[in-house]
Amino acid sequence: MKNLEELKEIAEHSYPESRNKIGAILICEDGKTYSGFTVRRSSVLGSTCAERMALDNWFQDKDRTKPIKLILIGKIMRIGWNNTHICYPCGVCRELYHQFTHINNIKDFTFECYSWDSKHKDTKTIRELLYYGDPFYE
Ligand SMILES: [Zn+2]
């Protein structure tokens, strides 16, 4: 597994350079990892999140195994945001990973989310990030 400093180096590849810096590492059950960073384009829908880029890289590997965890770190250029705030997946990524893990019957997938200063961490399941109610999960 990459350490957080390596993950921040991946986040530094985010585009454009003056905007959000977000890095993601998708970890599989065999220990193999897939990285991603954020690319902001003219519209939100045309942009790419670090979490989605990591998953797309996973799709490209014909020898891929089951993903078990995603590690996320980010620095968001938003009023009031600072380096102690934990970076969580956006709504689009929550829904995408929810669908992906549900369709592929991946249980207990977790998001390990960090602040940019690496001092604050929160680990969440898909269910905690995107709750659809009990009948859905039975
Ligand atoms: Zn996202």
The domain limits of the chain are: 4-137
CA of 65 to the centre of ligand 1 (A): 22
Closest CA to 29 of 64, 68, 72, 81: 68
CA of 116 to the centre of ligand 1 (A): 17
Whole-prediction pTM: 0.91
pLDDT at 24 > cutoff 60: yes
pLDDT at 1 > cutoff 50: no
CA of 138 to the centre of ligand 1 (A): 27
Mean pLDDT rounded to a whole number for the chain: 92
CA of 51 to the centre of ligand 1 (A): 6
Report the CATH superfamily, name and number, of domain 4-137. Answer: Cytidine Deaminase, domain 2 (3.40.140.10)
Q: Which residues contact 54 (CB under 8 A, 6 or more apart)?
A: 24, 25, 26, 34, 35, 36, 70
In this structure, of 6-15, 44-53, 81-90, 128-137, the range with the lowest mean pLDDT score is 128-137
Q: How many residues does the chain have?
A: 138
CA of 57 to the centre of ligand 1 (A): 15
| C-alpha distance from residue 120 to each of 26, 29, 47, 126 (Å) | 19, 25, 27, 19
Structure-block tokens of residue 79: 């009023």
The span from the CA of 23 to the CA of 36, in Å, is 6
pLDDT at 134 > cutoff 80: no
CA of 91 to the centre of ligand 1 (A): 6
Residue 15 DSSP label: B
Structure-block tokens of residue 27: 């970890």
